[in-house]
Structure formats: C-alpha cells, structure tokens
Amino acid sequence: MRIDDLPDMKTPENVGFASLADVSLQRRAVERGKKSDITDALKSMRPAPQYLHPDAPAEPARMRDVTPAATTDIVEYWDTLRAGVPLPSRDLLQVSDLARRWPNLILFQCAAASDLRPDTAFATSLRAHRPSGAGAEFEGGVEITALLSQWVLSVARDTVAKSAPCRAASKFDTVAGRSIYEIAALPFGADTVDHVLCSIERESPAK
C-alpha cells in the first residue's frame, strides 16, 4: 500500500480537552496566623553585609602600653609585662625604651640552663639607643672582666632553672677600682624560659 492510499486521518475537534466552563475555580483562604513559605524563606536569609563609609576612620586597635615608667624597678617592669601570665614574651621588649632607663643590659638566648648565648642583635640595637656616655663599663653588652662575666652567667642559669627573677650583688675589681655590682635577671618565654634579660648596675666603690 502506498502512502497516498492511506485514509485521511483527522483529529476530532476538542478531543482530549474538557470544557473549562464546568470547572469550579476556588481559592482557599490562608489560615489566620499561619506563616507563608516566603516569610520563612526571608527569615532564613543572612542579613546584608554592612560596609564602612570610605570617609569613616577605622577604629584603632587597642594596644597595651609597655613603656617603662622613669621610676619603675626593672623587676616591677617585668611583672607589668607578664600581665598575670607565668612569663612575658621576649617580643614585648622595646630596646628604644629600655636603653634610656637601664643602659647596661644583656639578653641571653637559652635552649637550656647550660646553654646560654648572648643575643647579638639585641646588643647591637642597645648600643644604638644607649644614651651617650652611659654604660661604658659594659660597652657592647660585654663585661670587662672574666669574673664578672661568669657571675652574670651563673645568675642567669639560676633564673632559667627557677623560671623566676633573681637578684644578686657582689664585689669585683675593675679598671675603675673595686666596686659593688648588682644584677637583676628576668626570664622570658612561652611555656619555658627561652630568654633571660640581665640588668647590671654598679652601685658604689667597695671599701
């Protein structure tokens, strides 16, 4: 059979389509007090980000003033730095402020009580900020006598072992004569002592 011999198939009108006139359209009222879906969706959305006006200055971060007072004892200064924690951080030491008040300082790096090494970077910075004519007996942060150096190391080791400040005084013969020297050794670090700061002062000629 050829395609031309096929009977003409016509789709009856309105087949498959019901009359819309007989359909009852009703809109059910939303119950009182019931939240619509869009209300819940809007509440779940995050609030829009707030941006600072370009001309509005940013609020400066609050920083703790660690500048030592002119009459503060260095152990009291250390206690202020630690602010209630067992040990203050070495990063809190500001050489420019320390040099004006305590010019004769030595900072030791320590891996253990038996391994103390002078912090050369600190000594260099201290020389740059030290007032002219101050601390001549400790020029460059190095003591002029071997006995004085051994004494300082001994006190610094005690500080590492105790994790607490140590004070000591002793008599030494120097080029300026027999003098009394006092030392305050202060521990710094996180969980353990990693630095010891020593302040040495010559009090008066010994008799």
Q: What domains does the chain contain, in order, with CATH numbers?
A: 74-205 (3.30.450)
CB-based contact 159:176 (threshold 8 Å): no
pTM of the model: 0.62
Report pLDDT digits (tens) over 46-102.
555 554 454 545 555 455 555 655 557 999 999 999 988 999 999 999 898 888 888
- Measure the CA–CA gap between 71 and 52, rounded to whole angstroms: 43
- Measure the CA–CA gap between 63 and 68, rounded to whole angstroms: 15
- The residue ranking higher by pLDDT, 190 or 21, is 190
Helix, strand, or coil (residue 40): helix
